[in-house]
Amino acid sequence: MLAREGSLMVDRPCRAGRNAAAMLLALCAVVSAAAEKKPYKPNQAGPRATSLRIVWLYVQPDLSSQKVAQIQIGREMVVLEKSGPWMNVEANTDVEEVSNDQDQPMIGSDNSPQPLSGWVEAKGIVEETTAGGDLVLMGAAANEELLASNPEGPANAARAAELLYRRLYEMFPNSPLAPEAQWRAADIQWQIEKADISTLPSSKAKDPYMHEQLDQTALKKVIKQYPHTRWAALAAFDLIDNKLCGDWEGSAQCPERESDLYEKYADDYPDGPRTAQALYDAAYRQAVLANMYSANGDDGKSKTAIDHCRALAQKLKDHFAGTDYAWRAGALVFKLDQDIPVFGIDHG
C-alpha cells in the first residue's frame, strides 16, 4: 500500500511547480524507503523446532567454528537444512516471549527483531515433524517445572518450562496435550509475573486498582479456546488474583468482596478443579469477618458471618468430602464455635 501511494504521488509534481515538486519527491523517497523495509518473514522451507537443552549457534557446522549465540531451552527455531549431526537454523535467541492473542510464531512476527542464523548440533532438537514430539515436549516441560519448584534448581527452569509448553501447543496444535500445555504455559507466565509484582510496594495497597495488574491475555485465551472445560476453570481461578486486596488493613470491605468473588467462582464452576479451594477461601473470609464484626461490637453481623462460614463448610463436606479444604473448613467452624480468633492465623 505504501509503495502504491508513493508511485501515485510521483506524477503530481509535474503540475505543481518546482518547489512543490521537490517537496513531494522528497516525501516520495521517504515513503518508498518505508515501503522497502518489509517485516521479516522466515524461510518456511523447514519445520519449526526447539531445543531441550542449551545449545550454541555456530557460524559453521563445526564445534571449532565461531560461536554466534546461545539458544536457551524452549526457544523457537526454524530448520533450514540438515547436514549429518548438524542443523542450519534461524533461532529466536534474545526476544522476551510473551503470550498474545494472535496464533503466530514469534519468528516472523512484525514486531520481533530478525532471528539469528547458524548451525546447531541436532541432538536434543525436537521438530514439528518428530514422531511423538508432543509427548517429548510435555515430559521435558514437566521436568523443568519440577526443577523450578526446587529452591536449588536452575534459575531459568520456570521460564524454560513455559517455553516448552508453548512450543508444544504451537508446533502440535492438534495434539490431545495441546490444551493442557497451553494452560500450563499461561499459568507459569502468570505465577512468574505475580511473584515479580509482589515485590513492589504497591502490591501491599488495600485496593486492587492500586496494584500493578497482571497480564490476563494468555489466561483469557485459554478460557476463550476451551470454554466449559477444566482448563477454563483453572484459568478463571488465576484471574481472581487481579481483584484481590493487598493488605486488608483491618477493613471488612476486603474479605466481604473477596468472599463474594470466590463464591461466584464456585457457582460458575461447580465441579472445577479449584472449586473446593474457592469455597474454602470464601469460608475463611467469612470467619475473618466474624472476628472483625465481633471486635467492633457488631454481634449481629458476626453471627451472620459465622452462619455463612458454617454453610460453606457444609457445602464442602457434602461435595468435596475427604479433601483438605473440607477438613480445614471444619476446623474453622470449630474455632469459631470455641471463640478462637482466626484472622491473621489461619491464612487462606
> 246 or 101: whose pLDDT is higher?
246
Closest C-alpha among 187, 139, 186, 142 to residue 161: 142
Closest C-alpha among 212, 275, 270 to residue 241: 212
Kindly state the cell numbers that stand for 78: 526454524
Q: Which residue(s) pair with 56 in the sheet?
A: 70
For residues 98-109, average pLDDT = 49
The answer to whether domain 48-127 has CATH 2.30.30.40 is yes
Reported for 145-151, long-range contacts at CB under 8 A and 24+ positions apart, including other chains, are: 145/184, 145/188
Locate cell 502490591: which residue? 203
For residues 306-334, average pLDDT = 97
DSSP-derived 3-state class of residue 219 = helix
> 203 or 135: whose pLDDT is higher?
135
For residue 296, the tally of other CB atoms under 10 A from its CB is 12
Residue 345: predicted pLDDT: 53
Q: Tens digit of pLDDT for each residue in 252-269?
A: 999 999 999 999 999 999
Give the predicted TM-score (pTM) of the model.
Answer: 0.80
Kindly state the cell numbers that stand for 72: 536457551
Residue 260: predicted pLDDT: 98
Q: Tens digit of pLDDT for each residue in 235-244?
A: 999 999 999 9
Residue 29: predicted pLDDT: 39
Residue 96: predicted pLDDT: 54
> 117 or 208: whose pLDDT is higher?
117
Q: Which amino acid is at 29?
A: A
Q: DSSP code of 130?
A: S
DSSP 289-325: HHHHHHHTT-HHHHHHHHHHHHHHHHHHHHHSTTSHH
Q: DSSP code of 214?
A: P
For residues 155-170, average pLDDT = 96
pLDDT above 90 coverage of the chain, percent: 70
Closest C-alpha among 88, 6, 14 to residue 47: 88
Query: What are the residue ranges spanned by the domains of the chain?
Result: 2-36, 48-127, 131-238, 248-348
Locate cell 493442557: which residue? 180
Residue 46: predicted pLDDT: 80
Q: What is the CATH number of domain 131-238?
A: 1.25.40
Residue 19: predicted pLDDT: 41
| Phi/psi-derived region of residue 90, left when phi > 0, alpha when psi is between -120 and 50, beta in every other case | beta
Residue 206: predicted pLDDT: 82
For residues 273-299, average pLDDT = 96
